[in-house]
Structure formats: C-alpha cells, structure tokens
C-alpha cells in the first residue's frame, strides 16, 4: 500500500521551530519565514541543543550574513509564488528591494556570488516546480489558470519555460501524471 501526502513546507517548518524552541524553554517570536527573534542571547548549552534538535529535521541556523540574505531572498520569492492573490501582481526586483532594503543590483550580485545562479533563474525554477505541483494536484486547474496564477503572460510562455526546464511539455507531463494515477 502506498500513501501520498501533501504538505505546506512553511507550516511544517514553523511547527518544528515552535516545538523545538518550546521544548527548550526558549522565549521567541517568529518573524516571517525563517527568522526567529530572541529577546536575549542563548547560553551555549541551549544553543547546542537547539542546533542539534533542528539538524534532525534538516534545518540549520545560518551564520554568514550573505547566506542569510540569500535565504531571505529565496523565502520572499517562494512566498511570492506560492501565496497567490488574484488581484496582486508583482515585480520581483521591486518586491525584493522594498522588503530587504537593498538595491536589486546588490541583491542580485550577492545571490549570484553565493549560489552561482541568478535570482531570475531561481524564480523560473520555483515557478516550474509550483506548476508541476499544481498539475499533479487534484485541483483540476487548466494550463491557462496555472499560467495566470504564476503570472505568465501566456500559456505559450509557461509551456516554453516548462519544456526548457523539464524537457517535457506541460501536456506530456500531465499525461504521465494521469497514467501514474490510473495504475494505483
């Protein structure tokens, strides 16, 4: 027997952080995705216990300032893509500059230096991952609806990027998903 699960990684991560911090009796405030505000510094023993507790779940505390900035960029981009609002359009460069208080040029340079890739490429990869997720879900969304949700100018634009990244057209991908479902 196989079970298939669906989860929201942001909710899962938040619950893991809350559980570990509460278990250790560390007062905290969660500030958005991936940021925890502590009222005071951590004693070395609690810090080590927290690091060990989080490592079990594949969560690590980031120390380097550039790594922190890159993670914040990734979190904002993910939030922008996954938390779709019908009436909200976004410009990635403006959104990142506004939320992080740095010029987009600086953010782009830091991101490229740390990841060896561009923010634009990261956005495309995240959009295609989410498109695959939406096509695989039971929501029965059309490609037009998915393209609109991901703010592509057209289905052709989505299809072109999808094929470039995955090697498949969206229609071929959907057929594979349907075949897999019919075998269960």
CATH of the domain at 167: 1.10.10.60
Residues making up the chain, counted from first to last = 184
Same-domain check for residues 15 and 103: no
For residues 84 and 107, give the distance between their C-alpha atoms in angstroms, rounded to a whole number.
23
69-83 residue pLDDT tens: 999 999 899 988 988
Determine the structural domain holding residue 94 and report its residue range: 65-183
Q: Domain for residue 166, yes or no? A: yes
Same-domain check for residues 144 and 162: yes
Q: 161 Cβ partners below 8 Å, 6+ apart?
A: 124, 127, 128, 152
Residue from 159, 155, 181 nearest 169 by CA: 159
Same-domain check for residues 112 and 163: yes
Same-domain check for residues 120 and 170: yes
Same-domain check for residues 78 and 14: no
Residue 64: the pLDDT is 84
End-to-end CA distance of the chain: 9
18-43 residue pLDDT tens: 898 899 888 888 876 677 888 777 88
Q: Domain for residue 3, yes or no? A: no
Q: Domain for residue 2, yes or no? A: no
Same-domain check for residues 159 and 115: yes
Beta-carbon neighbour count of residue 121 at 10 Å?
13
Same-domain check for residues 161 and 93: yes
Q: Domain for residue 165, yes or no? A: yes
pTM over 0.75: no
Same-domain check for residues 49 and 17: yes
Same-domain check for residues 71 and 45: no
Same-domain check for residues 91 and 137: yes
For residue 46, CA distances in Å to 49, 148, 172 come to 5, 46, 51
Residue from 35, 46, 43, 39 nearest 73 by CA: 35
């Amino acid at each position: 027997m196989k079970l298939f699960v669906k989860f929201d990684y942001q909710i899962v991560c938040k619950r893991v952080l809350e559980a570990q911090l509460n278990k250790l009796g560390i007062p905290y405030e969660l500030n958005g995705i991936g940021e925890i505000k502590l009222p005071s510094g951590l004693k070395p023993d609690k810090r080590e216990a927290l690091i060990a507790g989080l490592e079990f779940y594949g969560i690590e505390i980031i120390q380097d300032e550039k790594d922190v900035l890159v993670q914040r960029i990734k979190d904002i981009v993910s939030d922008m893509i996954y938390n779709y609002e019908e009436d909200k359009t976004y410009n990635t460069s403006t959104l990142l500059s506004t939320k992080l208080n740095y010029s987009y040029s600086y953010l782009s340079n830091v991101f490229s230096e740390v990841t060896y890739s561009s923010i634009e490429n990261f956005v495309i990869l995240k959009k295609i991952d989410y498109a695959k997720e939406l096509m695989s879900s039971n929501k029965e969304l059309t490609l037009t609806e998915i393209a609109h949700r991901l703010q592509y100018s057209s289905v052709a634009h989505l299809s072109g990027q999808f094929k470039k990244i995955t090697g498949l057209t969206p229609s071929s991908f959907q057929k594979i998903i349907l075949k897999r479902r019919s075998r269960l």
